[in-house]
Amino acid sequence: MKTRRLYEQATAGFAALCLLCAAGGPALAQEDAAKGIERYREMMADPFANPGLLYVDQGEVLWKEKAGEKNVSLAEVCDLGKGVGVVAGAFAELPRYFADADKVMDVESRILWCMEKLQGRDVTNVKKKAFSGAGEGGSEMEKLATYVGNASNGMKFALKLEHPKEKQSYAIGEKLFYMKAGPHDFSCQTCHSEDGTRIRLQDLANLTNAAGAIPAVTTWPAYRVSTDSVKTMQHRMSDCYRQMRMPKVGFGSDAVTALITFLVKTSEGGEVNIPALKR
Amino acid sequence: MTKKLVLAALAVSLCAGVAVAADAVSPDVLQKVIASSWKEPDANNPAGVGPSWSGRLVQDDMQKICSETRNKPSKEQAAAISKAALASVKYPEDGKFLGDWKKGEKIAQEGKGLRYNDKPEDVGGNCYACHQIDPKELSYGTIGPSLKGYGKTLGFDEKAQKTVYEKIYNSHVSVACSNMPRFGTQGILTIENLKDVVALLMSPDSPVNK
């Protein structure tokens, strides 16, 4: 109830400020808009007003729910790197190498693997519906990822990168970050290698150094006001590739894991804060 | 026997050590990851890599050099890129570079085109994503320079118009490893579209030059 009321107040305030943008001069209007968005963020950063918190609770229920042919819960069988069923601190060390799968995995591809291999579930639909649409109230994967991410809040990103496959994943991610391709010649570098730039009015993160990457990378999954839902890091990568005019990249694919490894390592020492609030 | 085993073990560990320490990714390894991550289309992934999409994952010479050098090519590489870029430019048959600036404004505003969820008829230049153009439009990006007063600054003669046309057709003519798409060379915009965008920047009556 409180959430809804604050949300409406904030939206109304935001709309009023936007009217101001149209009335004032360009520079002034943009400054006002930026201030308005900042105020909006402050209001929404109130830990009890972030609608994304609901996903944490729903994710916990899903984590502990028995499912699949083997009728076991993820909590009973899934090792996210810190021991079977342990969620505390796991996210801060992902992606990492898992010997059972002989692969480097991020939080979402690991959860998917546990569902398929350890719970014995058909994951076709989990994959297909991993990114929820407007008004769907979130997908199973979004809720689980938010729950696991939230259990590392306040902890610092610390990837060991000891296993050769972890080192390779990082190196591939770095290559992909700078890979210009497609009809528009875009790479991640095109938009994310300078401080203080934007697309239209959207601020862009400089993902080539810790100072720029930490605020962006430590905060997914995040509640996105523009879509009224929680979006995950897999979604962020996938949607960037869509905007880059590339073909659709596979959910939980090695390319996305590699990029996430590169970005998380670049954000080393950044404090996890999930679910954050974003535009 | 023992000696042989030790030597073999040493050789293996040395090889592993080199592979890790070098931190380099061989083109083969990278291609394998790309092939497994962007798959052929299927029921779950209708926008997967089909015949018309797989080409987007194959880099041409400019893309390769600019990726390897992270957009900082050597002098020689830059010269070769710019030379090839200029050679790719096709000019309007009527010899005129200025179209309709109002149509140009629409193209500059439009962000759709060539994404897997776009329609074939969606055509956009998305210029405002990166540039300030008409000063009345407040929602503009800053990845590229401001183009406010562009024609006034460059002059309204045909030579300036031609330079701008070439730059939009293929930005690498003037800046090798530029961030800007090659709108003409890659067929993102038609020659007619390009003339309209040139008019937006270079017409004396365009709001850009007011």
Residue B189 touches chain A, beta carbons under 8 Å: no
Residue B52 touches chain A, beta carbons under 8 Å: no
Cβ–Cβ of B188/A184 closer than 8 Å? yes
Give the CA distances from residue A37 to residues A12, A153, A205, in Å, rounded to whole numbers and listed in that order: 12, 24, 16
Q: Quick one: closest CA in A to B136, which residue?
A: A26
Residues of chain B with Cβ-Cβ distance to A124 below 8 Å are 44
CA A144, distance to chain mean position in Å, is 12
DSSP string, chain A: -HHHHHHHHHHHHHHHHHHHHHHS-HHHHHHHHHHHHHHHHHHHTSTTT-TTHHHHHHHHHHHHS-BTTTTB-HHHH-B-SSSBT--TTTGGG-SEEETTTTEEE-HHHHHHHIIIIIS----HHHHHTSS--TTS---HHHHHHHHHHHTTTTPBP-----SHHHHHHHHHHHHHHT--BTTTTB-HHHHHSSTT-EETTEE---TTSHHHHHHHHTT-SEEETTTTEEE-HHHHHHHHHHHTTPPPPPTT-HHHHHHHHHHHHHTTTPBP--SEEE-
Q: What is the pLDDT of residue A44?
A: 64
Give which of B39, B59, B142 to mutate to test A binding, by max A Cβ within 10 Å: B142
Q: What is the pLDDT of residue A38?
A: 75
Quote the minimal CA–CA distance from B158 to chain A in Å. 28
Would you call B45 helix, strand, or coil by DSSP? strand
Q: What is the pLDDT of residue B17?
A: 37
Enter the tokens of residue A275: 């679910």
Residue A240 is a catalytic residue: yes
Q: Which residues are CB-neighbours of A183 under 8 A, at least 6 positions away?
A: A245, B56, B114, B181, B186, B187, B188
Q: Quick one: closest CA in A to B183, which residue?
A: A184
Summarize pLDDT for B57-102 with one digit per residue, the tens: 999 999 999 999 999 999 999 999 999 999 999 999 999 999 999 9
Confidence label for B5 from pLDDT (cuts 50, 70 and 90): very low
**Could you give the strand order of the β-sheet that contains A222-224, starting from the edge strand earlier in sequence?**
A229-231, A222-224, A276-278
Cβ–Cβ of A250/B45 closer than 8 Å? yes
Cβ–Cβ of B186/A199 closer than 8 Å? no
Residue B55 pLDDT greater than 80, yes or no: yes
Residue B2 pLDDT greater than 90, yes or no: no
Question: Distance between CA B41 and CA B49 in Å, rounded?
Answer: 6
| Complex-level ipTM beyond the 0.90 threshold | no
Please tell me whether the peptide bond between B27 and the residue prior to it is cis, using omega within 30 degrees of 0. no
Would you call B87 helix, strand, or coil by DSSP? helix
DSSP letter assigned to residue B42 = B
Residues of chain B with Cβ-Cβ distance to A28 below 8 Å are none
Give which of B34, B60, B189 to mutate to test A binding, by max A Cβ within 10 Å: B34
Q: What is the mean pLDDT of chain B?
A: 88
Please tell me whether the peptide bond between A221 and the residue prior to it is cis, using omega within 30 degrees of 0. yes
Beta-carbon-side half-sphere exposure of residue A36 (alpha carbons within 13 Å): 20
Q: Quick one: closest CA in B to A250, which residue?
A: B37
Question: Distance between CA B142 and CA B132 in Å, rounded?
Answer: 7
Q: What is the pLDDT of residue A9?
A: 39
Quote the minimal CA–CA distance from A106 to chain B in Å. 15
CB pairs under 8 A between A and B: 134
Contact criterion met (CB below 8 Å) for A145 and A111: yes
pTM of the model: 0.87
Residue B15 touches chain A, beta carbons under 8 Å: no
The pLDDT tens digits along chain A (279 residues) read: 344 433 333 333 333 333 333 334 445 566 677 777 777 667 666 767 788 999 999 999 999 999 999 999 999 999 999 999 999 999 999 999 999 999 999 999 999 999 999 999 999 999 999 999 888 999 999 999 999 999 999 999 999 999 999 999 999 999 999 999 999 999 999 999 999 999 999 999 999 999 999 999 999 999 988 888 899 999 999 999 999 999 889 999 999 999 999 999 999 999 999 999 887
Q: Quick one: closest CA in A to B16, which residue?
A: A164
Residue B75 touches chain A, beta carbons under 8 Å: no
For CA atoms A258, A260, A263, A264, give the dihedral sign: negative
Q: Which of A233, B87, B191 is nearest to B183 (CA)?
A: B191
Contact criterion met (CB below 8 Å) for A240 and A192: no
Residues of chain B with Cβ-Cβ distance to A258 below 8 Å are 33
Q: What is the pLDDT of residue A29?
A: 60
Q: What is the pLDDT of residue A5?
A: 39
